[in-house]
Amino acid sequence: MSKHIPNDHIYQEAQLAPMTVAEINKLTANARALPPSGDQTHVLVEDGEDPWVVSHGGSLYYCTVDRLKQKVMVGKFSHLKEMATAELVQVWPGKQGTTPEYVEIWAPELQLIDGKWYIYFALYNAKNGAERLFALEGISGHPQGDYEFQGQLQIPTDRWAIDGTVLATDDGQLYFVWSGWEGFTNVSQNIYIARMSNPWTIASDRVCISRPEYEWEKQGYPHVNEGPQVLTRNGRIFIVYSASGSWTDDYCLGQLTYLGSDMLDPASWRKEPEPVFSKTDTIFGPGHACFVEIDQQDYIIYHAARRSQAGWARQVRAKPFIWNADGSPNFGVPE
């Protein structure tokens, strides 16, 4: 495996705007050397991104990567304030199954489906358009135990794909939701959904349910919809996603609401016309969230830029959120 610098996203070098990857990496390095803006009370991890936290059996589990982004790690802890100091156990690459060549692992997610643990992630290969999504299946019954590599999630319309997550309906049907390109060039990242026949097998072609269309989704180029996450309550289903360039101050969260009927019909999803979580005067680029309920309180856990113009220097933050009278989430503003 060749040496690399994390966040050195070579395949985007010619496309990212309004600055190059080299310029973004310089901003990132500068920001890490400067004090962060914003109140640090709610910071869980001082240097981190793409958080994934799940509650199970009275414990919390944090699925992440090592700082070189070459290992999938899972930490166990009791309270959110312990997240940064929890011991991280490497679960992949492991002893089971094959290990493909890769340069980085992106945005792993740990999910419990039908009593088994699964981890989903993208592999980055520093080749234009080569990123794809993969699945691990737990074989020990414990989030920090052994996993078997199940390989790539094979989608009939095979295109660049990252940020995969699973949506499970009350009747047990599984759907896969992710961010991908429409074609073979990086002009826009859209949100796609497909039906699954089991937790590692796609059983339909993809359907686009969101593409960047509002100005708040189109800050920076290419235009971005990514990081979709499923949020459910009282039978209602929402997909909260990240919009605009992750390297910009304007990275934010948008929301899709499921209206009923066919999940694979784009008309079954309504997009909110405004972001549901966006920057403040001191906290910039809030995005790539996950949601966890702790002691009957719902939390949004997300990453935000260390300061304005911070590139990819990010912190993991958390805050409680409430629900509106119509049953939709109300995240308030970043803290």
- The residues that are catalytic are 50, 226
Q: Would you list the DSSP string of 279-333?
A: --SS-EEEEEEEEEEETTEEEEEEEEESSTT-TT-EEEEEEE-EE-TTS-EE--S
With CA atoms as reference, report the closest residue to 24 among 2, 48, 6: 6
Q: State phi, psi for 89 to the nearest 5 degrees.
A: -105, 130
Neighbours of 194 (CB within 10 A): 21
Torsion of CA 211, 213, 218, 221, to 10 degrees: 60
d(CA 152, CA 137): 12
The number of angstroms, rounded, from the C-alpha of 163 to the middle of its chain's C-alpha atoms is 5
CA atoms within a 13 Å half-sphere pointing along the CA-CB vector of 219: 16
CA 123 to chain centre: 13
Q: Residue 238 and residue 226: Cα distance in Å, rounded?
A: 15
Burial class from Cβ neighbours inside 10 Å (0-12, 13-18, 19+) for residue 112 reads: middle
Whose tokens are 């088994």? That residue is 116
Phi-psi region of 314 (alpha: psi -120 to 50; beta: other; left: phi over 0): beta
Please list, in sequence order, all residues whose beta carbon lies within 8 angstroms of the beta carbon of residue 171, skipping any fewer than 6 positions away: none
* Lookup result for tokens 């001191």: 282
